[in-house]
Amino acid sequence: MTTIHLITKINAPIETVFNNARDISVHIETASKTNEKAIAGITSGLIELNETETWEGKHFGLILHHQSKITEMKFPYYFTDEMVEGCFKTFKHEHTFTHENGITIMEDKLMYETPFGIFGKLFDKLALNKYLTNFLLERNQSLKMLSENQQ
């Protein structure tokens, strides 16, 4: 299993950052490079506990689908989405939020396994891990700018 761990410091209220992180419309805006769109389940607004969303996006030149479900949530401190259907063997993304000295600290912990045995592991080492890390870093920077500009 591969784990990506990122921390983003955001000068905005914890509630604002939490809601932006789970807002489907914000996800579409912050993932525009991959042309992601919500095609089933919750397709706009704030996703809640036990709700699902299905995404279609272009990654590695392919149109891919990914359905996830919010399996844990405690406003405004954390939520977890887990893959129900998609290209991974397993995929779990934990989002944690804390507030210290006027700054919200958003922590991402993305854990996934690739299918296809040794070939999947090789693809992960050569390209996928870097791709997903950059995808999250870019999305988090967009979330940071959006949240900080909403004050």
Domain limits, the chain: 2-149
pLDDT at 26: 94
Supply the mean pLDDT for the chain: 96
Q: Which residue has the higher pLDDT, 69 or 34?
A: 69
- Confidence at 68, pLDDT banded by 50, 70, 90: very high
Q: Which residue has the higher pLDDT, 10 or 29?
A: 10
Percent of the chain with pLDDT over 70: 99
pLDDT at 32: 80
SS (H, E, C) the chain: CEEEEEEEEECCCHHHHHHHHCEHHHHHHHCHHHCCEEEEECCCCECCCCCEEEEEEEECCEEEEEEEEEEEEECCCEEEEEEEECCCCEEEEEEEEEEECCEEEEEEEEEEECCCHHHHHHHHHHHHHHHHHHHHHHHHHHHHHHHHHCC
Kindly state the average pLDDT of the residues 125-136: 97
Q: What is the CATH number of domain 2-149?
A: 3.30.530.20
Q: Is the pLDDT of residue 151 over 80?
A: no
> Residues 23-58: pLDDT tens digits?
999 999 888 888 899 999 999 999 999 999 999 999
